[in-house]
Amino acid sequence: MEVKILLALVFCCCVWLANGCVKTNACGDNSDCKNKRRRRFSDNHDNRPKGSVGKIGTHYSIKLQDHDPCDFNTYDNDLDGVIAKEEVQDILGINAETDALFADLDIMTEDSVIKLDEFYALAPLIITECYASDRK
Ligand SMILES: [Ca+2]
């Protein structure tokens, strides 16, 4: 009987500790990682790139002030490693050219996000400003 109570107590402690660890590793309410993401977003909010895109035939011309239109990180504002359509629209506006650019960059996987490999494979082919870019 005493052994069962002791085991139950140990089990409860393990569950309690495990829950604590999960909360620490995932972005919990007080964890730093969530704050860092929010901080980057708000830091960038005033300094977010703003530009425009024009379509010339099958190619695009992107005009951005003080930001590199050929840099993946220019577009990946939330740092999740992929570019969502909303992230491109935040910078280039919501219009037909932005939609077409996003669709052409997403042509390899068509998964509604642009991954790093996709971006650097396609940007030098379809974005005029990136023709000379030899980034990998
Ligand atoms: Ca992103």
Are 80 and 16 found together in one domain? no
Q: What is the DSSP string of 32-95?
A: HHHHHHHHHHHHHHHH---EEEEEETTEEEEEESSS-TT-HHHH-TT-SSEEEHHHHHHHH-SS
Binning pLDDT at 50, 70 and 90, where does residue 4 land? confident
Model pLDDT, residue 59:
96
Say how many domains are in the chain.
Answer: 2
In the reported structure, the alpha carbon of residue 20 is separated from the centroid of ligand 1 by a whole-number distance in angstroms of 28
Shortest CA distance to 98 belongs to which of 108, 84, 79, 110?
84
- 42 assigned to some structural domain: no
5-19, 34-48, 122-136 — which is least confidently predicted? 34-48
In the reported structure, the alpha carbon of residue 91 is separated from the centroid of ligand 1 by a whole-number distance in angstroms of 13
Q: What is the SS3 assignment for 109?
A: coil
Block residue for tokens 């990946």: 76
- 7 assigned to some structural domain: yes
Token reading at 39:
């901080």
- Would the pLDDT of 106 be above 50? yes
pLDDT tens-digit map of 32-68? 544 445 445 545 555 788 999 999 999 999 999 899 9
- Ion ligand 1 nearby residues (CB, 5 A): 76, 78, 80
Model pLDDT, residue 3:
73
Are 23 and 64 found together in one domain? no
In the reported structure, the alpha carbon of residue 29 is separated from the centroid of ligand 1 by a whole-number distance in angstroms of 21
In the reported structure, the alpha carbon of residue 76 is separated from the centroid of ligand 1 by a whole-number distance in angstroms of 4
- Would the pLDDT of 24 be above 50? no
CA–CA separation, 9 and 22 (whole Å): 20
In the reported structure, the alpha carbon of residue 71 is separated from the centroid of ligand 1 by a whole-number distance in angstroms of 13
Q: For residue 54, what are the β-bridge partners?
A: 61
Domain span holding position 16: 2-30
Are 55 and 121 found together in one domain? yes
In the reported structure, the alpha carbon of residue 48 is separated from the centroid of ligand 1 by a whole-number distance in angstroms of 14
Shortest CA distance to 47 belongs to which of 65, 59, 62?
65
pTM, rounded to two decimals: 0.64
Model pLDDT, residue 98:
97
